[in-house]
Structure 1
Amino acid sequence: MASAGSSSAAESQFSDVEENPNGQISAPPCLKEFSFADLKTATSNFGHKALLGAGAYGRVYIGWFDEKTLSHPSESGIGMAVAIKIYYPETIQAFDQWQSEVNILGRRYHPNLIELLGYCWEDEKLVLVYEFMHKGSLDNHIFQSEINQATNMFTGDVFKPLSWDIRLRIAIGAARGLVFLHSLEKPIIYRDFKSSAILLDANYNPKLSDFGLAKLWPSGDKTHVTTRMMGTEGYVAPEYFESGHLNVKSDVYSFGIVLLELLTGLRAADLRQTNDNLVQWLKPMLSQPKTLMDVRMKGQYSLGAACNATQLTLKCLEVNHKYRPSMKEVLEVLVQIEAMTSMEEDPEVLEQIEAVTSMTEDPEVLEHITTVTSMKEVSEVLEQIEAVTSKKEVPEVLEHIEAIEEKPKNSDYRSRQSTAACHGQRSILHRFLTSLKEPFQCVSSKLSCMRI
C-alpha cells in the first residue's frame, strides 16, 4: 500500500467526507504525519510497559514526544504524553475504522471529543496518535465490582469512586459531545456510545473517543439508516439490534444506558442479566429513587436531583425511539439538575420534603413535588397557597392549584432561582402539604395533572 506521504493518495482516501462549517479542518495536511520509526521510539518499541489497553481492532500505548513540536520522540516520562493506537495487521474493517476516525476527528474539533493529533500510514501499518487522557476511561471509575482492583496505569494510583458532582459533570460533557455530532449539517451517529469510550482528563472532563463505527448521515430526508448491526452488547438500541435501523435517537438510548451506569455503579450487562426490560425495571424506582442510586454517593445529592435523573434515564430508554428526547433536550435537563445540585440545600427542608414524599408511591406526584420547588413561575402561586393554608381551607387550596393549571406554559418557567427563593418555596410547599388532613388523597390527582 502507498504511504500517506503522497498527497494525491491521501486526498483520495479522505475526499468522501463533505466539508462542514461546524469546526471541520482539512485532513490530512493539518494532521501531523508520524513515521512508524518515531512511534516505535516513543513507545520503547511498543513495549509491554507502555501498553495501556487492547481491543478488538488494535492496541493503545502511551508514547512521549517533544511537547513543542511533536517532531522528536523522547524517553519515557520526558516531554508530552500521547496515546498511540496501532491497528492489528490490516483488514478491510480495520482500515475502514482507521479512516473513519481520521475523517471525523481530523476535520472537527469540540472540547468533548478526543483530539486527534496525527496518523501514520506506512505499508501495512495503520496508526493514530491522540491527546493523552490522564484519568483513563470512565468504566474504570464507576463499577462497584471492579473499582477496588482498577489502577491508573499512568500514575499507579487506585481509582476512587466518583462523587455525584463529578458524575453529573461527566454526563453533561458527554451529552454536549453528542449534541455537537447530531447538530452538524450532516449529523454523525456515534453508534458505539459506552462508558469505556468516555475518556477523562486530569480534571475529570470527559471526551468521547473510538469513532471507528461512527456513521455519517446520508443526504436526503431519510428517517434512518439501515446497516449491519455493530456495537457493544448492552448499549445497542432495540430498533438497531432488531432491524439494523439506525438514527440519532439510537445514540440517545445508549446514552441512557451510560446514565444508568453512572447512577447505579453497575454495568449495563450485569443489569440486563436479570432485567430484560430496563424500562419496566426502572418505573417502580421513580417513587423511591434512592433505592436505585449507587450507595457510594449517599448524602451527595438531593431527592429532587435523584428523581429527575432517574426520570431522564427512563425517557432515554424508551423502546420506541420516537418517544425518546433529543440529545439537546437531554442536555437541557442535565444542566437543570446540575443547577439544583449546586444550590445550598437546607438539610431540615430536605428532610421535611422526603418525609412528605414518602407518603406516596405515585411517580407523577413525586415528580411534581420535586420539580415545582425550582420553577420560577409558581413562586407567586405558592405565596398565595401559604396564605390559604394558614386557614387550612382545603377547597381554597384546590382553587389555587386550578390557577396553576390555567397559567400559560413557556420555557421561562424553568429558569434557575436564587437559593433563598428556592428555600422559601420548599418551606411553603411543605406547609401546604402537611396542612391538609389527607394530603395526597385530596390533591394527588391535581398535582399529577400539572404540566409545568
Structure 2
Amino acid sequence: MGCFHCFVPINKETSHVYSRKVTSERSKLLSSSSPKAELESVSGPKTRDEAEANPRAHTFTLQELKAATNNFAPECFIGEGGFGPVYKGYLESAKNVVAVKQLNLKGGQGDREFLVEVLMLNLLKHKHLVNLVGYCADGNQRLLVYEYMPLGSLDEHIHDLPPDRKALDWNTRMNIALGIAKGLEYMHKANPPVIYRDLKSSNVLLGENYDAKLSDFGFAKLGPIGDMTHVSTQVVGTYGYCAPEYLMTGQLTIKSDVYSYGVVMLELISGRRALDNTRPQGERSLVEWVKSVLKNRKNFIKLVDPLLQGRCPMGGLKQAVAIAAMCVQTQASARPLIGEIVDALTYMTRTDSSPKLKRSMMIEC
C-alpha cells in the first residue's frame, strides 16, 4: 500500500496546490468504493522542499500496532469514541508514545470516515489540529495513529471531575477557547474551506500545557466554493452542538461550526454539558438555559462554573459570555466569523484589564 504524503500548511503561496488537490479528492470521496485503492492513488508533494518540510504519514502493519499496544491490552485502553476504542501505544521504531484508534466494526462509522480522516489530516497541518502519525488498513481492520495527548479530552476536565482533579482556572479555559478558535480559523480559511461538523468538548484534546487540538475529522466536509452559499449533506454530528439551520435543512456552512464553537465556549464558562437530562426541564439544553438567563443581563453571573469559586475577571467574563452568545444566535448571519472570535480572544487573553468588545460582538439575546 502506498503512503499519503503531507502538504505544506495552507497560505497564499500554496492555496492553489491545496485547491487543486482537494478538488481531486472531493470526487474520489463522493465515489468511494475502495479506501485501499484511493489511499494508493494519492500523489505526494511536487517539490523537494514540500517533501522535506512535511514528513509522510507512515503506513503501519497490524502486527506493528499490536506490538505497540501489547495486543490492544485492557491496561492500554484510554477511551472510546464514535470511531472505536483508543489505546495508548509505544512505537519502538520511533521511540515515542502514540494513541492508536481502532475502528469498531460494529459501530456507526466505517471506511468513508476512515478515508476522510486520513485525507483531511494530510491536507491540513496546524498546531491546533491533532497530528496524524500514520494509519493501517489491513483486511477489514482500520486503525489511525496519532500523537499522544497526555491530558485527554476537554470534556474530562470540565464535566464530572473526580475528587483528585483540580478544576481548570479561568485563564486556562480562555486559552483553550483561543486554541480551538485558531484551529477552526485555519480550516475555514482553506480554499475551499473545510467545515469540521463535529466540534464538541470530547473532540478537543489537551497537551501537557493544556494546548488544545481538534481531533476526529471523520465527519469533516469541504465547504461551499464560488457562488455557492452552502453545501447540502446528511445531518451528522452530536445533538446539542449542531446549528439549528443545519438540523432542519441539512444546509452546511462555516457558521455551523461557529454555533458549535459557541456551545463549547458556554461549557467552558458554565461547566455544564450541552445537554443534561438530569437537570430541570428548562435547564437541560445549555443554549436555551443561557438565553433565558441573559434575558436579564444582570443575571449573567449565574452562568459561571461554581468550581471557579468566583475567581475570574469581571470584564473577561462579560466578553466571553458576549462571544458565546453571539455564536449561538439562531440566525447564522448574526454569528461572527471565527476570525473575529480569534481577534477578540487574543486581545482578551493578552491584557490584564478586559477591553470592551466592538459593538458587533455585543450580546444580543
In the alignment, what sits opposite 1:83? 99
- Separation in structure 1 between the aligned mates of residue 127 and residue 55 of structure 2, nearest angstrom: 21
Letter in 2 for 1:147: L
Query: Cα distance, 1:302 vs. partner?
Result: 1.7
Q: For the Cα contact (< 8 Å) 2:3–2:56, is it kept in 1?
A: no
Could you tell me which of 248, 268, 285 is aligned with 1:262? 268
Task: Tell me which stretches of 4 or more aligned residues in structure 1 moved more than 6 Å.
Answer: 5-9, 16-20, 23-26
- Asked if residue 49 in structure 1 is aligned to residue 42 in structure 2, the reply is no
Q: For the Cα contact (< 8 Å) 1:90–1:125, is it kept in 2?
A: no
Query: Cα distance, 1:333 vs. partner?
Result: 1.3
- Asked if residue 207 in structure 1 is aligned to residue 213 in structure 2, the reply is yes
Mark the CA change 1:9 to 1:256 in structure 2 (over 3 Å): closer, same or farther: closer
- Secondary structure (helix, strand or coil) at the match of 1:284 reads coil
Query: Cα distance, 1:57 vs. partner?
Result: 2.6
Equivalences for 1:35-434 in 2 at 5 Å? 35-66=61-92, 69-70=93-94, 79-89=95-105, 93-143=109-159, 146-148=160-162, 158-270=164-276, 273-275=281-283, 277-278=288-289, 280-284=291-295, 286-340=297-351, 342-343=352-353, 371=355
Q: TM-score, normalised by structure 1?
A: 0.65
- Separation in structure 1 between the aligned mates of residue 217 and residue 110 of structure 2, nearest angstrom: 12
Letter in 1 for 2:305: D
- Asked if residue 30 in structure 1 is aligned to residue 69 in structure 2, the reply is no
Q: For the Cα contact (< 8 Å) 2:3–2:39, is it kept in 1?
A: no
Which 10-residue stretch deviates more, 109-118 or 119-128? 119-128
Mark the CA change 1:246 to 1:181 in structure 2 (over 3 Å): closer, same or farther: same
Letter in 2 for 1:42: A
Letter in 2 for 1:286: R
Q: For the Cα contact (< 8 Å) 1:25–1:106, is it kept in 2?
A: no
- Secondary structure (helix, strand or coil) at the match of 1:49 reads helix
Query: Cα distance, 1:216 vs. partner?
Result: 1.1
Mark the CA change 1:241 to 1:9 in structure 2 (over 3 Å): closer, same or farther: closer
Unmatched runs of 5 consecutive residues or more in structure 2: 6-33
- Separation in structure 1 between the aligned mates of residue 131 and residue 67 of structure 2, nearest angstrom: 22
Cα distance per residue 1:85-116 (max 9 Å; x no partner): 11123889411111111101122210000000
Mark the CA change 1:262 to 1:119 in structure 2 (over 3 Å): closer, same or farther: same
- Secondary structure (helix, strand or coil) at the match of 2:350 reads helix
Name the Cα RMSD after superposition: 3.3
Unmatched runs of 5 consecutive residues or more in structure 1: 71-78, 150-157, 344-369, 376-408, 410-447
- Separation in structure 1 between the aligned mates of residue 197 and residue 148 of structure 2, nearest angstrom: 23
- Separation in structure 2 between the aligned mates of residue 130 and residue 272 of structure 1, nearest angstrom: 39
Letter in 2 for 1:339: R
Query: Cα distance, 1:196 vs. partner?
Result: 0.3
Percent identity of the aligned residues? 36
Task: Point out the structure with the larger helix share.
Answer: 1
In the alignment, what sits opposite 2:11? none
Which 10-residue stretch deviates more, 100-109 or 323-332? 100-109
Letter in 1 for 2:79: G
Q: Which has the higher contact order (CA 8 A, sep 6+)?
A: 2
- Separation in structure 2 between the aligned mates of residue 93 and residue 288 of structure 1, nearest angstrom: 42
- Separation in structure 1 between the aligned mates of residue 67 and residue 327 of structure 2, nearest angstrom: 45
- Secondary structure (helix, strand or coil) at the match of 2:241 reads coil
Mark the CA change 1:9 to 1:216 in structure 2 (over 3 Å): closer, same or farther: closer
In the alignment, what sits opposite 1:423? none
Q: For the Cα contact (< 8 Å) 1:90–1:124, is it kept in 2?
A: no
In the alignment, what sits opposite 2:22? none
Q: For the Cα contact (< 8 Å) 2:224–2:230, is it kept in 1?
A: no
Q: TM-score, normalised by structure 2?
A: 0.80
Aligned residues: 325
Query: Cα distance, 1:285 vs. partner?
Result: 5.5
Q: For the Cα contact (< 8 Å) 1:116–1:131, is it kept in 2?
A: yes
Q: For the Cα contact (< 8 Å) 1:197–1:210, is it kept in 2?
A: yes
In the alignment, what sits opposite 2:20? none
Q: For the Cα contact (< 8 Å) 1:234–1:272, is it kept in 2?
A: no
Q: For the Cα contact (< 8 Å) 2:293–2:299, is it kept in 1?
A: no
Q: For the Cα contact (< 8 Å) 1:286–1:307, is it kept in 2?
A: no
- Secondary structure (helix, strand or coil) at the match of 2:89 reads strand
Query: Cα distance, 1:298 vs. partner?
Result: 3.0
Query: Cα distance, 1:307 vs. partner?
Result: 0.9
Query: Cα distance, 1:219 vs. partner?
Result: 3.9
- Separation in structure 2 between the aligned mates of residue 296 and residue 115 of structure 1, nearest angstrom: 32
Query: Cα distance, 1:225 vs. partner?
Result: 1.0
Mark the CA change 1:30 to 1:336 in structure 2 (over 3 Å): closer, same or farther: same
In the alignment, what sits opposite 1:346? none
- Separation in structure 1 between the aligned mates of residue 289 and residue 211 of structure 2, nearest angstrom: 28
Mark the CA change 1:201 to 1:109 in structure 2 (over 3 Å): closer, same or farther: same
- Separation in structure 1 between the aligned mates of residue 240 and residue 333 of structure 2, nearest angstrom: 20
